Amino acid sequence: MKKLIVIFVVFVSVAFLFFIALAKRQENPYQNYLKDRRNAQNSIVVIKNESNCLPITKIDKHSFASLNLGETNQNEFTQRLDKYAKIDHFSLGFNQKKEDIEQLVKKLKKYNTVFISFYADEANQKNGISKKWISLFKLIGKNSKIVFTLFGDNKLILDFGNLSNYQAVILAQKTNSLNQELSAEIIFGGTKAIGKLKDSINEYYVQGFGIELNKQTRFSYSIPEDANLNSEFLNRKIDSIATLAIEKGAFPGCQVLVAKDMKVVLHKTYGFHTYENLQKVMPTDVYDLASVTKLAAGTMALMKLYDNKIIDLDAKFSDTWTDWKDSDKKDLNWRELLTHQAGLKAWIPFWTEMFDSEGNPKPEFIQKDSTTLFSYRINDSLFIRNDYKKDVYRRIKEAELSKERKYLYSCLSFYLYPEIVKNLTNIEFEEFLNQNYYRPLGINSLKYNAYKYFPLKQIIPTEVDTFFRKTLIHGKVHDEGAIVMSGLSANAGLFGSANDLAILMQMLANMGTYGDEQYLNEATVKEFIRVQFPENGNRRGLGFDKPLFGNDTLSLQKSYPAPSVSANSFGHSGFTGTFIWADPDANIVFIFLSNRVFPTRKNSQIYNLNVRTSMQQAIYDSRMKN
């Protein structure tokens, strides 16, 4: 009887301790996630890193492919790889036919770097690796560098033959989502490699062996607690603001991204592309960025010219744009133009001269059929004259200039920057951006004329234009000024996704560096993001927007942006309902994308509800005390 009582007591005690442990785990899922993440990171071991190829650098010098062996669909590993670069994905099942393998080898010849991931099944774990996979790797390795990740028992690596076929080898062990995601992050420098072998594999790979990669160079993707933010508070606030905004018709859907300390800790989508609720917003959807283009394209290009000492901010603009030499604008300098206090008009409705009094298109500007001289389509049935940008330049030159030098937001000089970049570098504007920023950063969604690069289902529509193009604007730029420039302007026209914009802004917050590469000198970034003319009451940097003066003393309703941002922070907003902002002091990047102009620009609910400022403030309010 006593023995039964002892057994019962032990059983109850163990059960009690089990339920206490379970309750604690349920009470704090975020800390448990971080613990699981650390355990996963510790379990992933890099055993080869020839020529320090990991983490990957100089992304623009690579052509990437990934090959999944054992899993025939994209998974967490390939999806995480996509965060860092443009990668074409392939897969093979274990029972693939010989001719399929031969065909795959032919396809992979055009890639100089192939990420091979092997997902061992029970048969592999028990019986070893088929020789056909070793032969496959040798064939691929003749043309490409291989980064090999093994998801399975570490000792299986011995069955893959001579590791000289691979430039880098990662033993990821488990196939769970965390091990897959972190393995991909290690490859691109999003996560440090710290794992060590717990057991010896052979005389070369002994217990305690593991190559460390101790530098994080790109974004990692985690949860708010990993950056000392409160998940429950931040998610609740962002969710409630977005949900209310959609209910009130501020926009049909939106995308929100928060990064802190080089970690993307929140990336969420809400709602749909339109109010018909047919297509949900996805993280890879691209938006018309409107005036965010001024920062992400125009200003970025000029920063590089300044960095290379091609332009002088205090020199006369007409020394570069000589067409202004004989105009009232001949003495304006770059600094005045980039801070919007040169006295230029806010904007010019260029399209009004293209139609007669009855609303018919004038044939010298627009025609209904495509010809050699009229080849750029602005809607389903209208084509604009190819060289109409010359008329744009003329009208800007002839536009009235204010004698008073005070802040007035003007788009006009930004129409000229693409031509200036081309004239000074002999490189087309978009290619200049691709070469100097987008491709080396691994950015693939920042594009002009998005319809050329993405299916329409991936592009968020903007407005139903009732006065110029008289159709739904979808895939082409919303801004009327940019569309008459064939969709390519430094004023507007850029499309992009939240993740890519966050990478660009994080590079700027890092004072010009990202991915272990320097894109701009620190002095250049600091010069462009600082307030230039505070004595004039002008808060602007050079191409960058800045907080209102005394912003930290204002209420949430009156501040711009959130009152808690630092004076060193910077960003830009866009007319279509977009907003990007970086705070280098707090190391916070905030991206908000919406199509608030759908179906009409008259919708001002995004401002009435203070959506973007409220979301941004929630990030700062979610910071946890140490």
Residue 1 confidence (pLDDT): 54
Residues 6+ apart with CB under 8 A from 290: 478, 479, 492, 574, 575, 576, 578
Tokens of 116: 């091979």
pLDDT band of residue 357 (cuts 50, 70, 90) is confident
Residue 100 confidence (pLDDT): 84
Question: 236 or 92: which carries more pLDDT confidence?
Answer: 236
| Burial (CB count within 10 angstroms: exposed 0-12, middle 13-18, buried 19+), residue 422 | middle
Tokens of 613: 């400022």
Out of 70-84, 360-374, 414-428, the most confident range is: 414-428
Residue 5 confidence (pLDDT): 54
Question: What is the DSSP pairing of strand 513-514 with strand 447-448?
Answer: unpaired
State the chain's mean pLDDT as an integer. Answer: 93
pLDDT band of residue 413 (cuts 50, 70, 90) is very high
Compute the average pLDDT of residues 566-589. 98
What are 194-210's pLDDT values in tens digits?
999 999 999 889 999 99
What are 21-79's pLDDT values in tens digits?
544 445 588 999 999 999 999 999 999 999 999 999 999 999 999 999 987 677 999 99
Residues 6+ apart with CB under 8 A from 243: 270
Question: What is the DSSP pairing of strand 168-171 with strand 253-260?
Answer: unpaired
* Angle at alpha carbon of residue 348, lines to 342 and 349, rounded to 5°: 165
Domain residue spans of the chain: 29-218, 238-621
pLDDT band of residue 18 (cuts 50, 70, 90) is low
Residue 27 confidence (pLDDT): 57
Q: Is 404 strand, coil or helix?
A: coil
CA pair distance 603, 526, nearest whole angstrom: 36
Partners of residue 575 on adjacent β-strands: none
Residue 13 confidence (pLDDT): 54
Q: 149 pLDDT exceeds 50? A: yes
The yes-or-no answer to whether 29-218 and 238-621 have a common fold is no
Residue 23 confidence (pLDDT): 47
Which amino acid does the sequence have at 339? T
CA pair distance 515, 300, nearest whole angstrom: 18
Q: Is 101 strand, coil or helix?
A: helix
Kindly state the percentage of the chain with pLDDT values over 90: 83
Alpha carbon distances (Å) from 581 to 91, 129, 178, 321, 574: 39, 50, 29, 31, 12
Q: 127 pLDDT exceeds 90? A: no
Own/partner pairs, 577-583, CB within 8 angstroms, 24+ separation: 577/251, 577/254, 577/606, 578/287, 578/288, 578/289, 578/290, 578/292, 579/292, 579/612, 580/292, 580/295, 580/296, 580/501, 580/505, 581/505, 581/616, 582/505, 582/506, 582/508, 582/509, 583/509
Q: 3 pLDDT exceeds 60? A: no
The answer to whether 152 touches 23, Cβ cutoff 8 Å, is no
The answer to whether 296 touches 494, Cβ cutoff 8 Å, is yes
Alpha carbon distances (Å) from 163 to 48, 167, 246: 8, 8, 54
Which of 225-234, 356-365, 427-436 bottoms out in mean pLDDT, i.e. has the lowest?
Answer: 356-365
What are 505-515's pLDDT values in tens digits?
999 999 999 99
CA pair distance 293, 215, nearest whole angstrom: 32
Question: 264 or 379: which carries more pLDDT confidence?
Answer: 264
Compute the average pLDDT of residues 587-599. 98
Could you give the strand order of the β-sheet that contains 570-574, starting from the edge strand earlier in sequence?
A: 220-221, 263-271, 253-260, 588-594, 578-583, 570-574
Residue 7 confidence (pLDDT): 54
Compute the average pLDDT of residues 142-150. 95
Enclosing H/E stretch for 499: helix 498-509
Domain spanning 29-218, CATH class:
alpha beta
pLDDT band of residue 265 (cuts 50, 70, 90) is very high
Torsion of Cα atoms, 68 then 74 then 80 then 82, to 10°: 90
Burial call 55-69: b when 16+ CB within 10 Å, e when fewer: bbbebbebebbbbbb
Reference 590, options 268, 315, 280, 278; nearest CA is: 268
CATH number of 238-621: 3.40.710.10
Compute the average pLDDT of residues 336-342. 97
Q: 6 pLDDT exceeds 80? A: no
What are 389-400's pLDDT values in tens digits?
999 999 999 999
